[in-house]
Every structure is written in C-alpha cells, then in structure tokens.
Amino acid sequence: MSRLHFFLYKRSIFLFFYVVLFALSGEISANKGLEIAELSDKNNEGYIDSSSSMVMQLINKKGDIVERKLSFKRLEVPEDGDKSIAIFESPRDVKGVAILSYAHKVDSDDQWLYLPALKRVKRIASKNKSGPFLGSEFSFEDFSFQEVEKYEYKFIGEEACLNLTCYLIERRPLDPYSGYTKQLVWIDKDNYLVQKIHHYDRKSFHLKTQTFEEYKLYEGFFWQPHKVMMMNHQNGKSSVLKFQDVKLNNGFTDKDFSQNSLRRSR
C-alpha cells in the first residue's frame, strides 16, 4: 500500500470511528469541540510535502493595496509539528530573507531567520509570535501551524456560515505567549474545513476576523484554501493571502528544511 493510500485508508477509519462515536454520544459531548478540531486537522494530514507561492496584499483603510510575494515550502513531520520555509521575493529590500520554522505539537516552535545581506542565520526567540508578520494584519502565530494540542476546546453549537452549516467551537490557546485569549472557529459539517475564525486579543476584544475561501482538493484528500483574509476591526486594515501553484509530493526531505538549506536561499 502506498503511503498516500495508507493515509486515505487511515482517514476513512478515523471518520468511521468518529461517526460511530458521535452517534453514541448524542448531542452534547464535553469533548465534542476537540473531536471536531481533530477531524478538521485530519484535512492537513498525509500531504507529505507541499510548495506554493503566496501573494500577500496589505490593504489600508482607504483601500490602497501593497503587495508582498513569498514562496513557501512545507514538510510533514509525523508525530510532531511540520517544518516550513518561507522565502521573501518582494519587496526588494527583503528579497532572499527566509524564515525556517519547526512547529511542535506542544513545545513552542523553533525559528531561524536568514539575512542574505549579512549571510547570517539567526535564531529567533519564537515566543515572540504575537507580532505582525511583514507589516500585515497576520501575526506570526496566524502563520504557524495550529496544532490541535496547542488549544483547549469547547463546543458551542451549529450555525449557518455562508451557504454551509458549520460547527462553532471555541478554543483557548494554552501557550501563555499567544496574542489571543480565545478564538471562535467555524468548521463546516461537510468537509470539516475551517471557514472563519474570530480572534480575541488579550483584553478579550474581538480584534480580527479571518476567513478562508476558495478551498481546492488536492490528490483527493488534501484541502487547501487559496484565499485567506484577515480583517482587523481595530485599525480598519486588512490583509489577503493568495496561494498559487500549490504542488504536493515535491520529494522534499529533512535536508531541504535544515539551517544549512537556509543559507542557500541567496
């Protein structure tokens, strides 16, 4: 059985298991929020590796748009968080700057920054994740992988979301360095895809709304949103992230995500 088929097989067993579990547990389950989150997370499992290019649009109150370009590579690490490299293409003064991240399920992530002008790889204290990413409304935290283990969940109910029906769950980050106190997450009932997140800041103010659009299915099991929007309600600015040229199974290995590989980026 190929690795891909194995994951598909595993996925369907999980789905079956959860369907049975749901049927038995009835309406209210203390763990229902977690179960939905786990099912949703399965959509990100088994992809092995992916590459894509990203365009990030920063939109101010008046509607002026500034664009940033990045290329992005990701490697799945079974039993732990994923490894990724983001390389900046534009604006020009940061061209070649790269960020290597090793996400971990429970521990905080490891991150290294490569500065091509200095030829320097610099480890960054990854606790600093609530800050804005590239001047956008996304924070480093929004950009990193949202491992299920990093939150505590509560099931709230079901709600219509656009033309779908969604589960609404509340999650609270366990990491004390998170910029958020809680997040409301809308996950659709059909495919368990995250459709919308309300982010509440440290003062429990509804600071940002994130929406996920243009989901496409790859290899029959991997769902990738192609447009992610983040609206900041405090400053009226928003950021849009568009994914292009998404490709799975590039044959990446750990060596493509090492500190040494960072130094190759320019």
Partner 1 sequence: MSQIKTLLVFIIFSAPLMGEVIGEFSFDNRYFFNEGAQGQKQNHSSFSISPEIFFEEDKRIFHFKPKLRKDNEDPERNLVDVQELYLLEILEDREIKYGISKEFWGVTETSHRVDIINQTDSSESFDGEDKLGQPMVKISFERDWGLLDIYALIGFRERTFVGQNGRLRLPIVTDTDNPSYASSAKTARIDFAMRWANYFDNFEIAVSHFSGTSREPRFLPSPKKLNQIAPHYEVIDQSSIEMQYFLGSLALKGEIISRSGQGDRFSAATYGFEYTQVGILDSRLDLGWVVEANHDDRLKSSPAVLGTRLIMNDISDTQILSGFIYDERSEEIGFLLEATRRLGDCCLVSVEGMYFDDINEDNNEKKLFSPFKEDDFLRMEFIYYFGD
Report in angstroms how near the CB of residue 130 gets to partner 1 at its nearest. Answer: 5
247 - beta bridge partners?
A: 51
CA dihedral 32, 193, 132, 180 (to 10 degrees): -10
Q: Which of 93, 157, 190, 220 binds partner 1 (CB under 8 A)?
A: 93
The stretch near partner 1 (CB under 8 A) out of 19-27, 93-101, 211-219, 221-229 is: 93-101
Q: Which of 25, 31, 71, 130 binds partner 1 (CB under 8 A)?
A: 130
State the alpha helices, DSSP H only, in the chain. Answer: 3-25, 32-42, 140-143, 259-262
Which of helix, strand or coil describes residue 119?
coil
Nearer to partner 1, 104 or 198 (CB): 104
Q: How far apart are CA 92 and CA 68, in angstroms?
A: 9
Nearer to partner 1, 163 or 260 (CB): 260
131 near partner 1, rule: CB under 8 A: yes
Name residues whose C-beta falls within 8 Å of residue 243's C-beta, 6 or more positions apart in sequence.
Answer: 52, 53, 54, 224, 225, 226, 227, 228
Nearer to partner 1, 45 or 89 (CB): 89
Nearer to partner 1, 135 or 214 (CB): 135
Q: How far apart are CA 95 and CA 92, in angstroms?
A: 5
Q: Which residues bind partner 1 (CB under 8 A)?
A: 58, 60, 66, 90-95, 118-121, 123, 125, 127-132, 135, 177, 179, 203, 255, 258-260, 264, 266
